[in-house]
């Protein structure tokens, strides 16, 4: 089995669900407690042993590059001021990973964004992570997927159960349950109406693919919303070779919506080792 080192972060979307907050800054830089969303995603990938990061960005996304870059002046200032905890936080983030940036010049869809990274994949297996989905667990979501990939050698898609009222927001899978709790995915539909949804299991923005996915993506035509959909390429892959689904464990927030973003800040704020107790006390005063 080829080693799994590479992971693509599509981060070129316009963040329309978050306007006006995302008018001049990337949605991936929205902050959950004390870190931007994209940093949670990168830390999760590194914890799963995927350290070759390909970030697909677009216009107005420079802040992401700056975030993972060395800020020599800031580091020098923090160091000389003796702010060692802040210095460590800032210097760690600029050294945590080697990141390659690719620009998606036109907003043609998630599948197209992933395809933009294909020159860096070189016929290797790779992960894809959507940073606006935040999944918190001792065993990182990407590690949960990786275990299934290593056991099967097949592509794996992270899933969560959603209520019927939300199936129109996600890719929804049709599956057959196999041994050892594995779900073999037979088909998937991007953002179906409730009556057309094959199940209530939603694709949650964590994927590991065999290289065949890239080949199929090249031929995917515009689908739902006139966009080239990653979901359509996975459906084609599932017709060609086994693709598995894994129900992810952990606290999951769809932080790409204002509701999910607020919940993530509230819950992770309450759990934060430095701010949690104070935040809880302050909330009691407000409620």
Least Cβ distance, residue 164 to ligand G1P (angstroms): 15
Other Cβ atoms less than 10 A from the Cβ of 82: the count is 8
Least Cβ distance, residue 202 to ligand G1P (angstroms): 5
Binders of ligand G1P among residues 79 to 118 (CB under 6 A) are 110
Specify the residue, 203 or 237, whose C-beta has the smaller distance to ligand G1P: 203
From 88-96, 117-125, 198-206, 213-221, give the range in contact with ligand G1P by CB under 6 A.
198-206
| Separation between Cα atoms, residue 152 and residue 143, nearest integer Å | 14
Residue least distant from ligand G1P (Cβ): 171
Binders of ligand G1P among residues 204 to 223 (CB under 6 A) are 204-205
Q: Does 26 bind ligand G1P (CB under 6 A)?
A: no
Q: Which residues pair with 135 in a beta bridge?
A: 252
| Separation between Cα atoms, residue 253 and residue 168, nearest integer Å | 17
Q: Does 41 bind ligand G1P (CB under 6 A)?
A: no
Q: Does 170 bind ligand G1P (CB under 6 A)?
A: yes
Q: What is the DSSP letter of 256?
A: T
Least Cβ distance, residue 147 to ligand G1P (angstroms): 21
Taken in order 265, 271, 276, 280, the sign of the CA dihedral is: positive
| Separation between Cα atoms, residue 229 and residue 225, nearest integer Å | 9
| Separation between Cα atoms, residue 253 and residue 243, nearest integer Å | 25
Specify the residue, 53 or 130, whose C-beta has the smaller distance to ligand G1P: 130
Q: Does 203 bind ligand G1P (CB under 6 A)?
A: yes
For Cα atoms 78, 131, 219, give the angle at the middle one, nearest 5 degrees: 135
Specify the residue, 87 or 244, whose C-beta has the smaller distance to ligand G1P: 244
Phi, psi of 182 (to 5 degrees): -80, 140
From 119-127, 200-208, 243-251, 269-277, give the range in contact with ligand G1P by CB under 6 A.
200-208
Specify the residue, 50 or 230, whose C-beta has the smaller distance to ligand G1P: 230
Binders of ligand G1P among residues 172 to 191 (CB under 6 A) are 190
Residue with tokens 């349950």: 177
Interhelix angle 141-152/37-47, rounded to 10 degrees, is 40
Which is it for strands 155-161 and 35-36: parallel, antiparallel or unpaired? unpaired
Among 202, 220, 243, 268, binds ligand G1P (CB under 6 A): 202
- Name the strand (E) or helix (H) holding 103: strand 98-103
Among 54, 56, 121, 130, binds ligand G1P (CB under 6 A): 130
Instruction: List contacts with ligand G1P (CB under 6 A).
Output: 110, 130, 133, 170-171, 190, 202-205, 230-231, 256
């Amino acid at each position: 089995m080829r080693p799994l080192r590479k992971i693509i972060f599509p981060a070129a979307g316009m963040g329309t669900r978050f306007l006006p907050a995302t008018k001049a800054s990337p949605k991936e830089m929205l902050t959950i407690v004390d870190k931007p969303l994209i940093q949670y995603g990168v830390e999760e990938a590194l914890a799963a042993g995927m350290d070759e990061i390909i970030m697909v960005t677009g216009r107005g996304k420079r802040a992401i590059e700056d975030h993972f870059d060395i800020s020599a002046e800031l580091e020098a200032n923090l160091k000389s001021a003796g702010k060692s905890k802040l210095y460590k936080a800032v210097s760690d983030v600029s050294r945590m990973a080697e990141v390659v940036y690719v620009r998606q010049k036109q907003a043609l869809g998630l599948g197209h964004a992933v395809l933009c990274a294909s020159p860096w994949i070189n016929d290797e297996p790779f992960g894809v992570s959507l940073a606006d989905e935040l999944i918190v667990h001792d065993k990182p979501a990407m590690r949960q997927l990786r275990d299934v990939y290593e056991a099967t050698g097949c592509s794996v898609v992270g899933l969560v159960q959603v209520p019927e009222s939300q199936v129109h927001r996600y890719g929804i899978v049709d599956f057959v349950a196999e041994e050892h709790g594995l779900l073999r995915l037979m088909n998937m539909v991007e953002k179906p109406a409730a009556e057309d949804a094959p199940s209530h299991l939603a694709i949650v923005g964590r994927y590991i693919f065999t290289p065949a996915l890239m080949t199929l993506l090249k031929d995917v035509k515009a689908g739902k919303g006139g966009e080239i959909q990653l979901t359509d390429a996975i459906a084609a892959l599932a017709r060609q070779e086994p693709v598995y689904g894994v129900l992810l464990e952990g606290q999951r927030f769809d932080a790409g919506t204002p509701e999910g973003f607020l919940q993530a800040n509230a819950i992770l704020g309450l759990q934060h080792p430095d701010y949690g107790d104070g935040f809880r006390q302050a909330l009691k005063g407000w409620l």
